[in-house]
Structure 1
Amino acid sequence: MLTPMVIVFLLTLPRWLYPLCRFRKLLPLAYVHGLALAYVFFSIGHFVATEGMVEMLPAWTPMPRLLVYLTGLLEGIIAAGLLTNRWRRLAATGALATLILFFPANLYAAFNHTGLGGHQWGPVYLLIRAPLQLLLVYWTWYFCLPGNGRADWTPSAQPDNRML
């Protein structure tokens, strides 16, 4: 049950760390960078805990191990994209898509008491997972997509395509 706490910690870490390290110029991007950290965590999970991820998929899923690896790679690409001005909007859109499209795997795992994290608890785990998923969707929309909320970065206002 530690995973949801790790995710929230990663989301907020840059917001607390940047002022301490005097990275004030990066503060507007702290929440974007937090989501990137979370996506790195998600990506690593696909390669470190592959068997648990495979268990989260229905038996009829073709090539489940390959699918787990490919989705891990996709989540790593999303993390990298969130860190660049040029690809941030596309990466945030991809993050929203994965959060919505991959959630059924969490439902399947919870209802079948299988997979990683608290999924073995069964449907009661969704009382934690569903709000976390909503938080991640809102976080992505509000902090990472300009014009939707707090996202105060704009691709034209940032210098070239350097990593931030």
Structure 2
Amino acid sequence: MELAVWRQPGNGVHALFTALGHFLFTKGMTMMIPSFIPLKRELIYLTGIVEIILGIALLFPSVRTYAGIALIILLVLLLPANIYAAALKVNYEKGTFDGPGLSYLWIRVPLQLIFIGWLYYFSVSNMAEDLLIKK
């Protein structure tokens, strides 16, 4: 069986898994957002819902590329929140300030780049292929 068969369910499951954190660890995730940004809880719920919708959208060839691009943009936009949270030692699961700190970024940043690359390779770079399938 080709890897291509599993590419979108894998990306979709990843998006759904990360979205779950928005609802299970809301307090800790609000702590990841700088104080000058209002409506933190609402923003956490909204981004969780967006991740769910985009994760499901990856399963449909007609919108896969757009969902992939949107998820890549979301991952890029959320990276500063992860850096900010690491600097403050936010433990988003507990909702406390006793997290691993900046050392966490040695794992998080490369992992974020892998997720972005995976989305690009399997969702965006196959745009021509997906468009041909529709015709």
1:162 aligned partner: none
1:112 aligned partner: 88
Letter aligned with residue 108 of structure 2: R
Cα distance change, pair 153–115 in 1 and its aligned pair in 2 (3 A): farther
User: Would you say the 8 A contact 1:99–1:133 is kept in 2?
Assistant: yes
Question: 1:1-164 maps to which residues of 2 (within 5 A)?
Answer: 24=1, 27-116=3-92, 120-147=99-126, 153-157=129-133
For structure 2, the residue ranges without an aligned partner over 5 or more in a row are: none
Q: How far, CA to CA, are the matches of 1:139 and 1:126 in structure 2?
A: 19
Percent identity of the aligned residues? 34
User: Would you say the 8 A contact 1:28–1:153 is kept in 2?
Assistant: no
Listed one character per residue, the Cα deviations across residues 1-44 of structure 1 (whole Å, up to 9, x for unaligned) are xxxxxxxxxxxxxxxxxxxxxxx4x7423122211100001111
Q: How far, CA to CA, are the matches of 2:42 and 2:100 in structure 1?
A: 26
Q: How far, CA to CA, are the matches of 1:155 and 1:43 in structure 2?
A: 28
For structure 1, the residue ranges without an aligned partner over 5 or more in a row are: 1-23, 160-164
Aligned length: 131
Q: How far, CA to CA, are the matches of 1:34 and 1:116 in structure 2?
A: 24
Q: Which has the higher contact order (CA 8 A, sep 6+)?
A: 2
Q: How far, CA to CA, are the matches of 2:128 and 2:5 in structure 1?
A: 8
Q: CA RMSD in A?
A: 2.1
What TM-score do the two structures reach when normalised by structure 1? Answer: 0.73
* Moved beyond 4 Å, runs of 4+: none
Secondary structure of 2:132's counterpart equals: coil
Letter aligned with residue 126 of structure 1: L
